[in-house]
Chain A
């Protein structure tokens, strides 16, 4: 009986410790999220080369090659995304709105869906202009999307669906800046401010041909 009581006492102490741990151990303090190295990428996407691609807009195929002479922004996400994508797209939109009209004409931003199963080009056309009238949504076959994502070092992974067949998609949240020559010039990490985005766009717009 005595050993049993001791055992129970031990269990209670251990349980209390466990409860304390559960109550006070914070696996996800906001600081951890903020402190994550901005440029860290999965090793598989070490040095993305960028490059041309053709995907599908609501009006038909859209090719990066048609945008030479413009600064192009790419953001990979999906329309069911409740938080990260709207936040990032709003920041991009804010940066675009900060440009003068003449500058805006030299910039094109694309939202590429990493969830083409749910995001048709038509759906994306309904979605993207909410953020900025010039933002274009692009879809494609899963293979096409995967290829473009790999080119730019974007990663994503659909999560198992819940009982209602709904699922979220983990995805990288960088904004890729392609210069007027069609080359991937800059990868802006998640949560870059609109001021940082604006400065990056201007930097790549600025260079008048004569000055080079």
Chain B
């Protein structure tokens, strides 16, 4: 087994958390705006939270975990539009590049709330804990919005090219 030590190093290098290579980031480098949770029809077990995360720091950050008391399980997801087929997939993290922002929005990245523990009503506020790869966490309150309301609020054409 000549390669054995090499493999160990490779494995170690891969599990090394990336941000430790970069500079220290203070928690204030990340700001979260426009967070909302979508209100779902009665009896619907799953919903999603959307928001815009901005990173004013000088190193890239990743959202690696989310939790909420309203859901038994919380996952990070994205959607892949595979020739018109919408494939929802869990992702390990959602990156927010240094000096940039990442939008979690319908049809793309979202924080998925699985197995809701209580019905969500418009006007409710949902507590979310977001954990980032530098070990920092953010506690936010996301407003519950009806899909119709959130669309009026965005007031921009949904992603996808205008055909005409």
Residue with the highest number of chain B CB atoms closer than 10 Å, among A18, A22, A23: A23
Of B23-31, B39-47, B123-131, B134-142, the one contacting chain A is B39-47
Q: Which of B14, B81, B148, B160 has the most CB of A within 10 A?
A: B81
Q: How far is the CB of B101 from chain A (nearest CB, A)?
A: 12
A19-B18, A190-B81 in contact; A11/B151 too (CB < 8 A)? no
Q: A83-B48, A87-B107, A189-B84 are in contact. Are A38 and B13 (CB under 8 A)?
A: no
In B95-139, the 8 Å CB interface with A consists of 95, 103, 106-110, 112-115
Contact call A171/B115, Cβ cutoff below 8 A: no
Is A193 located at the chain interface by the 8 A CB criterion? yes
A1-39 vs B, CB cutoff 8 Å, 1 = contact: the mask equals 000100110011011101100111010101011111111
Q: Which of A38-57 contact B (CB under 8 A)?
A: 38-42
Q: B148, A170: Cβ atoms under 8 Å?
A: no
- CB–CB B148/A94 < 8 A: yes
**Which residue from chain B places its CB closest to the CB of A27 in the assembled complex?**
B80
Residue pair B107, A33 in contact (C-beta under 8 Å): yes
Q: Is the CB of B160 within 8 A of A190?
A: yes
A79 contacts B106, CB within 8 Å?
no
Given A28-B78, A40-B84, A192-B160, A18–B14 Cβ distance below 8 Å?
yes
Which chain B positions have C-beta within 8 A of A191? 107, 158-160
- For A11, the chain B residues whose CB sits under 8 A away are 6, 9-10, 13
Residues of B near A60 (CB, < 8 A) are none
Residue of A40, A83, A94, A155 with most partner-chain B CB within 10 A: A83
Shortest Cβ distance from A203 into chain B, in angstroms?
12
| B78 adjacent to A190 (CB under 8 Å) | no
**Are B80 and A33 in contact, with the CB atoms below 8 A?**
yes
Give every chain B residue within 8 A of A80 (Cβ-Cβ).
44-46
Whose C-beta in chain A lies nearest to the C-beta of B80? A28
CA distance A174 to B163 in the complex (A): 14
Residue in A15, A89, A97, A126 whose beta carbon sits within 8 Å of that of B10 in the complex:
A15
Residue positions of B touching A, CB distance < 8 A = 5-6, 9-10, 13-14, 16, 18, 21, 38, 40-48, 60, 73, 77-88, 91, 95, 103, 106-110, 112-115, 146-148, 150-151, 157-163
Q: Which 10 A-B pairs have the closest CB atoms?
A: A90-B147, A15-B13, A191-B160, A130-B41, A40-B83, A87-B106, A34-B159, A82-B46, A36-B81, A191-B158
